[in-house]
Structure 1
Amino acid sequence: MLRHTIGRASKRISRSTRNVSKLATSTKSVGVDTQTAAKAATAKSYSTRSTVVQLLNNIGSKREVEQYLKYFTSVSQQQFAVIKVGGAIITQQLPELASCLAFLYHVGLYPIVLHGTGPQINELLENEGVEPEYIDGIRITNDKTMEVVRKCFLEQNLRLVTALEKMGVHARPITAGVFGAEYLDQDKYQLVGKVNSVNKAPIEAAIEAGYLPILTSLAETPSGQLLNVNADVAAGELAREFEPLKIVYLNEKGGIINGNTGEKVSVINLDEEYEDLLKESWVKYGTKLKIKEIHDLLQHLPRSSSVAIIDVDDLQKELFTDSGAGTLIRRGYKLINRNSLKDFGNPDLLRAALLRDPEIKAGKLSAASYLKTLESVQFKSYGDEPLEVLAIVIAEQEGKVAKLDKFLSSRTGWLNNVTDNIFNSIKKDFSSLYWIVNENDANLSWYFSKADGSFVKNGEILFWYGLKTNEVSELIKEFDSSNLVSALSSSKESGVFSSPVQKRGIHTFTRTFQSAFKSQRRQYSTSNPNPPIREGTNTKPSRVALIGARGYTGQNLISMIDKHPYLEISHVSSRELKGQKLQGYNKDNIVYSNLQIEDIKKLEENNEVDVWVMALPNGVCKPFVDAIDSVGTGKSTIVDLSADYRFDTTGEWTYGLPELNDRSKIASAKKISNPGCYATAAQVAIAPLVDYITGTPTVFGVSGYSGAGTKPSPKNDVDFLANNLIPYSLTDHIHEREISSQLGLDVAFTPHVAQWFQGISHTISIPIKPKSLTSREIRNIYQDRFQGEQLITISGEAPLVKDISGKHGVVVGGFAVNSKEDRVVVVATIDNLLKGASTQCLQNINLALGYGEYDGIPDDLIIRG
């Protein structure tokens, strides 16, 4: 009933938008907050957007709509979505398509739209007496066919652009100049291309100017020859380039249909279901090919990316409601069951999940005491690999019904429907269950949807399913007499399901996951023992003092702190810039000072600084650290960006490389030594293979000249560097010592400086046990080791330094094994100013102060695996 009502509302919205859109003016970017939008836009465009949001509310709750708007506007505009439109939709559903795109445009969302034109091409060819020819499903495109293809693409592109312009949407036709290609097989297919490059500039320019980019899938060779490219393939290449949150395929079926049941498949979680899905009897031919292509595409995109296959009429419902409408395909996470505390492996990951519990968060219950309780009962826990969701069920005891004791989910867990997957797993194992929820819980309607019945008393709600009448009576009697206590809560702050909306159904397959998972794991595979901390517990502002802030690293750190939700700069110290206004910081009017030892003591005594960042040359910061220590308050945290304390043996300093070092130690540290740029990339690239290394790895490192600092020298002299490569410190470089000491093995390192500004490339030769690993197995080791790490990308190809410049992560790839199979060459790239310095510094600050590890690090510049 609800599904049909929402469907009708969605169609009414499509019709209503055509009237609303006539009032619209161009809106370059509009956020979720309507007050902010009112200041930034004209009254007419504000009115249009408000009307559109109200119409969206007809298909979902206000909270759902605003939740997804905020989610979609959290990335740069070109990273919202790539939408592939089938040619038949332009012919048969052009008004509906234009309405849907107008909706997105008027709430400030700019999808990249790419369309096909297959049916129209066939019709034109037949009119001219040309029989369409195919080999392996690929259209043979000779000169005559290309003439028709080009004409057809231009006509259909113009039709869509014109329809959008009539609805008040600025749209820009982009019919060439985006896809570079080579011949797929000239002898076989003739003018058919294989995309080998994507030029983002025309798309970015259109969006920057406030226009929706409307693309065709025509490509060109370097000489300018037009080539025909499959639109699905072209859409995939766009997705790989822009890494959008959503890749949307609009088709007539509105999703993938289960051939056995005739029902639409709602959700596919590839990490959990892919292998079994391909074995299904109905998954064959085009369906199997489509699923494989999507699987391969998503493997190279951030885990936050997903593919939606949807009918054009249901696009809004798919994007802005939790129930969805088409088929949603995402990587997801594998689910893991654990029956004892020792099965968790990483206790800090478990504690981090428990900190979402309101009682533990408020200090009414400690995580340690709860874990102690679990040791004395029989329980079963359910969770995804990073524990975005954790559920703990206390098994039946003395004839009593099993109890869902904890159900703790992050916001990410709710948004990605991991909660439904977890609950479905619980229902498979427990035919009956009860749980208690506070009546103010923001996700109350979700719990109602999972229960057969409920009973309310004193602000708490008892839920159950699978119980007989007498069991319900007994349960209510105990609850009423207060013998049942401890209301679980998923968090009052998540608020994802605060209204009774039907959740998206989950498509699952019957199998015992845990045993299947164990049998599929190879011996060389190692999971990440130290997963990132995505959500912090601290929401209070903290003050940062930067000592020596004039360099490149200081400038980048200042820029990120300016956008950090909690950090504020209180002092910046630089002898050369004393008295000048701090540039690039907008939260306050800060002026550079030249802090002396006595000034630092006074600031520490008065508790005016929460974290000190030492951005000084090597060998300089000790007096400042000693000054802070001499006060003896122990309240502030120190992060040193130099190499002065990277070899500390006193135990006072913690080495701050979160991806390789114990995050809990960094979180509890008061003194953190920030790793070097060369050393960070080299350690990340070598560490996963330490158990297989038989000799001395050699690192050939090349850095841009920003690594030489701002003080003039031959290593940052642009003229001297032109057409040049400068080797230096050929042995015993300080980073060679750093890498070796941290990895616990000898590593040879030779640094060089090149003529580009920022970014480092390492080519690393690693001797390994003969015939122990293949290239694929090595890559799997790295993928497993860094699974869930937001700032580490594992690539099959050797990464390029030009692609890492300005990005906040490390990319590792290549994994070439020699013919003797006793040596592997790995390539790693890193931006020396970001993840090599300032980004890593911010990670360490976040961990030490209890914020989310990635708070303040721009999402649109993160490299993800």
Structure 2
Amino acid sequence: MIISKVGKSALSKSVSFNAKRLSFLPTLQRRKKFLIKHTKQQSRLYSQDLQRNEKETIIKLLYNIGSKKEAEQYLRQFSSVESQKFAVIKVGGAVISNEIDSLASSLSFLNRVGLYPIVLHGGGPQLNIELEKAKIEPKYNNGIRITDAKTLEIARSIFIKENLKLVEALEKLGTRARPIPGGVFIADYLDRSEYGYVGQITGINKDIVNASIEAGALPILTSLAETPSGQILNVNADVAAGELAKVLEPLKIIYLNEKGGLINEETKKKIDSINLDEEYDHYMAQPWVKYGTRLKLKEIKELLDHLPRTSSVAITAVEQLPKELFTDSGAGTLIRRGYRLFKFNSLDEMDKNKLQKRLQINPSSDFISNLSKKSCKVYSDEPYDALAIVTQEKTNPNAIPFLEKFVATKTIILNNVIDNIWKMIQKDNPRLLWAIDDHDENKAWHFSRSDGSYTINGKTLFWYGISVEEVSAAIKDFAATLSNTNTTQSSSSGRAFTNVSRNFSTFTRYNQYNQYNNNTFSISNLLRRQYSTSTSSKVALIGARGYTGQNFVSLLNNHQYISLSHVSSRELEGQELSGYSKEKIKYVNLKAEQMKEMQKNGEVDCWVMALPNGICTPFVQAINEGQADKSLILDLSADYRFDNEWTYGLPELGDRESLRKAKKISNPGCYATGSQLSIAPLLPYISETPTIFGVSGYSGAGTKPSPKNDPKFLENNMIPYSLTDHIHEREISYHLRKTVNFIPHVASFFQGITLTVNIPLSKTFKSAEIRELYEQKYAGEKLIKIVDDVPLVKDISKKHSVKIGGFGVHSSGKRVVIITTIDNLLKGAATQALQNINLALGYDEYEGIPLE
């Protein structure tokens, strides 16, 4: 609506201005021509304005999929090539049958940001159904479908039908698409006597594809080919996609399947990435790599061998397509040629010119001479695009290795070589230390690969694999070094490297046990702490009298590194805060102006707004006026849950890197948290609107007296309320990007929520398969527990986790009921708030949260 109003306003002003000019035209005919001309011009400008604003909106949505940095990086990368060289996407027939809406949505999403993927689809499952109806038994030879005249006739009809179906689905979403059922692939008979009307591609007519893109329409192709004389031939869709890619040389070749990637049949887990130059022989030797998997790997290798090293193949699910393209972590299986990786045991084994060029240092620099005094291992790809240097003191073979340098160039952004080098480093070095600048934009990458960290004076020391005593000694050494040197530190990491090579640098190692006094560090603290800042953080709680505020105070009372500095409540002003034993604190009644001054003076590290909906905006404005982004603001109300300038704080479903960088966090609602966690693993398979039946304890109705929190009124009773349009219904739908129906109730118990979630499915599932999806989705999540039976609300009360179970599948296999329980005051509010604060302030996510 905002965009439309802006455009219409501009158009209105222009037409008004032009109307004044009309009075100076001498004839009615000339006035008419002038009006038509300028109305067309303004309509064209209005349309362009809409498209430009729509693209900006879609780009902002990308930031919710990954980080802003990732989205901008990949948009630059993809937009820098010719349109036809962005991506070739091969779509299986089953995807069109079962997931056409998701497919059309994902393709439209890409087109809205100015990208033109070339889509080629198959129709195997549909063809088998029609052949069965025609009582034609499919025949194969060496995995190739034998195609007689009748089979070809049915196949051609199906391909045209499915092609138009996808085009129509795209057009309904406002995305221009052009059906191209034939004319692109030129072929000869593969072997007419053996395979019938099956083609072997001999040429590509890319002009048809280019014409579609130049006209602003997505080209939608089938795998039907033609001989030079015009005879139609059937070609395997995977083969056709590969041949098309060889001619167009796109950055990405994407195969969409229902599994969402290649699955390791031994571990039953998805393979994240394959570096063919390093890992092809290994995978081909695995006993589970056979039949179709073996053939696909072989074909992908042959394809990538013909393409530039910047090209890669991704196998992923339809709904994960944007994430696969616009995030470093991806979503499916990424396959690329990469380079062979090498390990050198000294600098003498390396090409000195390449080394100095990559490190951007002078041959006579102190860095090179200092390295020669230590034991040195260097890890690199073939052209030195990625390079890591690990050193160890020669005189002390038991010393902990130190990562001196880790550099990379932009050419490996899409190839993920960094992660493979990191695996080599981990294999050779079961213990490791390294250091970066605390403001490094890739800090989250280091956190995810470390066991712990310590920050002091703007620098962060990381480690893995070392004992508590070694951690203590390393921290002392690190702190002593920083107090005696002004060495600048910076870093680079992950697939998300910047365009300029950036380095780690070292601190000079001091004697680990004799250079610093022992009263600075606590071993018990190190045991509990993973990453932290060097000083305690101060939190001001605004609106502390409610149940959520009380639980939040209790959590902070057990937090080692966060302390309460202020608690504000108009009703309790002057009274002493109970439940907090770190120090005596009295309630105050902070006004907006006071908070503004406190923000200016840097008195608070984090403001927690525990106010009713619609109340906190003046306070947030005052904090921003004091000095925006100086402190963290976390809002427990619903006021900012739909505001894109605020980070939505549901760590298990969101981007933890964004939370670590956030300065404004909107804490999700209790019902919304449980509901989203209940539905998220099944999002790709939802066919119709899910229904959520929610029952909350009466603490969820707050402390203000009402029938919904009156134990006497609730005795032997349960009250439905907000039967439609509940704010949590909008919140769940908004953040899942999937409409839901939500019906809340309040019952006679005090604390906890039970959710019964009915989800219609687009494909048939067994209960065990549903459970496996949930286990995979939430693997490693400490506050989510997947259970076999139906979780009970009495078992979740006063607990910090969420329990998901039930998994009751209808006899049709196409409807499942999920049962989820969550404590509305803890994981539904206070616990989740502390998770978010820990991430944003640089502490371990679960610090201060009792884990069961």
Normalising by structure 1, we get a TM-score of: 0.51
Give the AA of the match of 2:358. Answer: A
Q: Is the 8 A contact 1:442 1:494 kept in 2?
A: no
Tell me which residue corresponds to 2:354. Answer: 349
Is it true that 1:92 corresponds to 2:106 in the alignment? Answer: no
Q: Name the aligned partner's letter for residue 147 of structure 1.
A: E
In the alignment, the residues of structure 2 paired with residue 396 and residue 465 of structure 1 have an alpha-carbon distance, to the nearest angstrom, of 18
Q: Which amino acid aligns with 1:179?
A: F
Secondary structure, in 3 states, of the residue corresponding to 2:259? Answer: coil
Distance in 1 separating the partners of 2:327 and 2:489: 25
- The range that moved more, 394-403 or 459-468, is 394-403
Tell me the residue number matched to 2:160: 154
Query: How far apart, CA to CA, are the structure 1 residues paired with 2:443 and 2:145?
Result: 53
Contact map agreement 1:460 1:487 (CA 8 A) in 2: no
Aligned to 1:458: 457
Once the two structures are TM-superposed, the CA of residue 322 in structure 1 deviates from its matched residue by 0.8
Question: In structure 2, what is the equivalent of residue 475 of structure 1?
Answer: 474
Residues 40 and 210 of structure 1: CA distance in aligned 2, closer, same or farther (over 3 Å): farther
The whole-number CA distance in structure 2 between the counterparts of 1:41 and 1:395 is 63
Question: Do residues 139 (structure 1) and 138 (structure 2) align?
Answer: no
Give the secondary structure class of the aligned counterpart of 2:309: coil
Q: For residues 293 and 40 of structure 1, do their structure 2 counterparts lie closer, same or farther at Cα, with a shift above 3 Å needed?
A: farther
* 3-state SS of 1:42 partner: helix
* Structural mapping, 1:810-829, within 5 Å: none
After superposition, the Cα gap between the structure-2 partners of 1:495 and 1:112, relative to the gap in structure 1 and judged at 3 Å, is closer
Amino acid at match of 1:347: K
Which residue number in structure 2 is paired with residue 433 of structure 1? 432
After superposition, give the CA deviation of every residue in 1:688-710 in whole Å (9 maximum; x if it has no partner). xxxxxxxxxxxxxxxxxxxxxxx
Shift, 1:179, TM fit: 0.6
Alignment check: 8 A CA contact 2:419 2:494 kept: no
Determine whether 1:325 maps to 2:331: yes
1:392 aligns with 2:384: no
CA-atom RMSD, angstroms? 2.4
Is the Cα–Cα contact under 8 Å of residues 122 and 222 in structure 2 kept in the other structure?
Answer: yes
By relative contact order (CA 8 Å, sep 6+), the higher-ranking structure is 1
Instruction: Find out whether 1:163 has 2:173 as its counterpart.
Output: no
| Kept after mapping to 2: 8 A contact 1:86/1:115 | yes
Per the alignment, residue 291 of structure 1 pairs with 297
How far is the alpha carbon of 1:408 from its aligned partner? 1.3
**1:369 lines up with 2:363 in the alignment:** no
Secondary structure at 2:433's aligned position in 1?
Answer: strand
Q: Distance in 1 between matches of 2:463 and 2:494?
A: 24
Per the alignment, residue 172 of structure 1 pairs with: 178
Q: Deviations over 1:90-136 (max 9, x none)?
A: 11111000001000110000011000011111111111222222222
Work out whether 1:66 is the aligned partner of 2:77. no
2:438 & 2:352 partners in 1: Cα distance? 31
Match of 1:115 among 98, 115, 121: 121
Unaligned runs of 5+ in 2: 1-7, 9-43, 500-852
Give the direction of change, closer, same or farther, for the CA distance of 1:85–1:273 in structure 2 (3 Å limit): same
8 Å Cα contact 2:452-2:463 kept in structure 1: yes
Taking the aligned partners of 1:84 and 1:495, their CA distance within structure 2 comes to: 26
- Say whether residues 1:128 and 2:134 are aligned partners: yes
Contact 1:81-1:112 within 8 A present in 2 as well: yes
- Give the secondary structure class of the aligned counterpart of 1:177: coil
Structure-2 residue corresponding to 1:549: none
Deviations, residues 700-729 of structure 1 (Å, cap 9, x unaligned): xxxxxxxxxxxxxxxxxxxxxxxxxxxxxx
Between the aligned partners of 1:135 and 1:337, the Cα distance in structure 2 is 46
Question: What letter is aligned with 1:68?
Answer: Y
The residue identity in structure 2 corresponding to 1:374 is L
Q: Distance in 2 between matches of 1:422 and 1:316?
A: 26
Provide the rounded CA distance (Å) in 2 between the counterparts of 1:215 and 1:275. Answer: 34
Contact 2:70 2:496 (8 Å CA) reproduced: no
Shift of 1:454: 1.1
What is the CA–CA distance in structure 2 between the aligned matches of 1:257 and 1:456, rounded to whole Å?
A: 40
* Closer/same/farther in 2, CA of residues 373 and 396 from structure 1, 3 Å limit: closer
1:327–1:40 distance in 2 versus 1, CA, 3 Å: farther
Determine if contact 1:113/1:214 at 8 Å carries over to the other structure: yes
* CA distance, structure 1, for counterparts of residue 146 and residue 406 of structure 2: 56
Aligned-pair distance for 1:416?
2.3
Q: CA deviation at 1:39?
A: 9.2
Structure 1 runs of 4+ with >6 Å offset: 38-41, 492-495
Alignment of 1:824-843 (within 5 A): none
Aligned counterparts of 2:190 and 2:170: Cα–Cα separation in 1: 34
Amino acid aligned to 2:380:
G
Change in Cα spacing, 1:40 to 1:428, as seen in structure 2 (3 Å) is farther
Please list the CA deviations of residues 198-236 of structure 1 after superposition, one character each: whole Å capped at 9, or x if unmatched.
000000010011110000111111111000000000000
Within 5 Å, give how 1:412-423 maps onto structure 2: 412-423=411-422
CA contact (8 A) 2:104 2:170 kept: yes
| Equivalent-residue separation in structure 1 for 2:165 and 2:429 (angstroms) | 56
Task: State how far apart, in whole Å, the 2-side matches of 1:41 and 1:496 are.
Answer: 37
Amino acid at match of 1:134: Y
Who is 2:490 aligned against?
489
Q: 1:372 is paired with a residue of what secondary structure?
A: helix
Q: Structure 1: how far apart are the matches of 2:343 and 2:493?
A: 26
Contact 2:433 2:463 in 1 (8 A): yes
Q: What are the equivalent positions in structure 2 for 1:143-542 lying under 5 Å apart?
A: 143-344=149-350, 346-355=351-360, 360=361, 368-397=365-394, 398=396, 399-482=398-481, 489-490=490-491, 496=497
Give 2:731's aligned residue: none
- Aligned residues of 2:312 and 2:415 also touching (Cα < 8 A): no
Which 10-residue stretch deviates more, 439-448 or 155-164?
A: 439-448
User: Aligned equivalents of 2:364 and 2:102: distance in 1?
Assistant: 53
Partner Cα separation in structure 1 for residue 493 and residue 271 of structure 2: 32
Compute the displacement of 1:487 (Å): 5.9
More off after superposition, 435-444 vs 235-244:
435-444
Unmatched 5+ stretches in structure 1: 1-22, 24-37, 499-865
Give the superposition deviation at 1:415: 4.0
Q: What SS does the aligned partner of 1:58 have?
A: helix
Deviations 1:50-70 (A, max 9, x none): 221222221111111111111
Q: Percent identical across equivalent pairs?
A: 53
| Residues 116 and 367 of structure 1, relative CA distance in 2, 3 Å threshold | farther
Retained in 2: the 8 A contact 1:219–1:228?
yes
SS at match of 2:264: coil
Alignment of 1:672-751 (within 5 A): none
The Cα offsets for residues 389-447 of structure 1, whole Å up to 9 and x where unpaired, read as: 11111124524311111111112334422121111111111111111111232222211
Conserved in 1, the CA contact under 8 Å of 2:178 and 2:219? yes
CA distance, structure 1, for counterparts of residue 248 and residue 327 of structure 2: 24
**SS of 1:336 mapped into structure 2:** strand
2: CA distance between counterparts of 1:329 and 1:487?
37
State the Cα deviation string for residues 319-358 of structure 1 (Å, max 9, x = none). Answer: 11111111110001111011122211x2111011111xxx
Give the deviation of 1:368 after TM superposition. 3.5
Instruction: Mark the CA change 1:39 to 1:57 in structure 2 (over 3 Å): closer, same or farther.
Output: farther
AA at the equivalent of 2:366: S
| Residue number in structure 2 paired with 1:798 | none
